[in-house]
Amino acid sequence: MPVKFVIFDLDGTLVDSSVDLCNSINHAIKPYGVELLTVEETISLIGEGVTKLMEKVALKHSIPLSELDTMLARFLDYYEAHILDNTVLYPGVIEILRSLNGIKKALVSNKRTAPCKKILEGLGALEYFDIVLGSDALPEKKPSPMPLIYAMKELGFSKDETIMVGDSTYDIDAGREAGIRTVALTCGYRPVELLLNADFLIDNIADLSSVLVKIQEAN
């Protein structure tokens, strides 16, 4: 069955938000006099949502978890004000979204819904999505299949008609648990050796077109 519905991850898949996330983390931890994070360190920590992110940062720097709420508030305040300072779409994203004529599209992220929409709108991509689900949209987030299954039900698509496109094990595991085919980007935030369980590996988002052709031909 041809693909009629594509579910995309956001960070590391459609956008590079690592610098703005790094700056926001460092703003949150600066009062504690600890060593600030590099962008590379930030990339290694993100993917499970902002609360888990700040927990990891606190543990990494031996900051008491009793400070977590304060750190989280500082992070969110700063990130909201600086969310698009350095965040950019990866090359080819708008082109691939435009090319998916007649194919419905969802954004499912472990980032909260409001910042997802703000980023997509600010970068001119929100109009291409039929539904946007952040980590606060449902009781569970990736790697749970819940948001993927919800999106399919909301828009009326079967497992055979749907694929998940992402750059992390959270995306692949969620897709596999939901019973849909998975496409992993090797140019995102995770090393390729962690992505080998995906049904398809692509080096950049433009290669998604060839995956859709392969699926079509297989049917």
Whether residues 119 and 211 fall in one domain: yes
Contacts of 73 (CB under 8 A, 6+ apart): none
Cβ pair 8, 107 in contact under 8 A:
yes
Give the domain range for residue 209: 5-16+88-218
Tens-digit pLDDT profile for residues 160-181: 999 999 999 999 999 999 999 9
Average pLDDT over residues 207-212: 95
With CA atoms as reference, report the closest residue to 104 among 57, 157, 153, 140.
157
Tens-digit pLDDT profile for residues 24-67: 999 999 999 999 999 999 999 998 999 999 999 999 999 999 99
Q: Give the model's pLDDT for residue 17.
A: 97
Contacts of 18 (CB under 8 A, 6+ apart): 11, 39, 42, 43, 46, 189
Backbone angles phi, psi at 14, to 5 degrees: -100, -35
Q: Which of 43, 67, 82 is the last residue of a domain?
A: 82
Q: Give the model's pLDDT for residue 188.
A: 86
Mean pLDDT across the chain: 96
How many domains does one find in the chain?
A: 2
CATH number at residue 11: 3.40.50.1000
Q: Give the model's pLDDT for residue 61.
A: 93
Q: How confident is the model at residue 191 (pLDDT cuts 50, 70, 90)?
A: confident
Q: Which of 43, 62, 82 is the last residue of a domain?
A: 82
Q: Which of 82, 115, 135 is the last residue of a domain?
A: 82
Which pTM was predicted?
0.95
Whether residues 123 and 183 fall in one domain: yes
- Backbone φ/ψ region at 108: left (φ over 0), alpha (ψ -120 to 50), beta: beta
Average pLDDT over residues 193-203: 94
Instruction: Just list the catalytic residues.
Output: 9
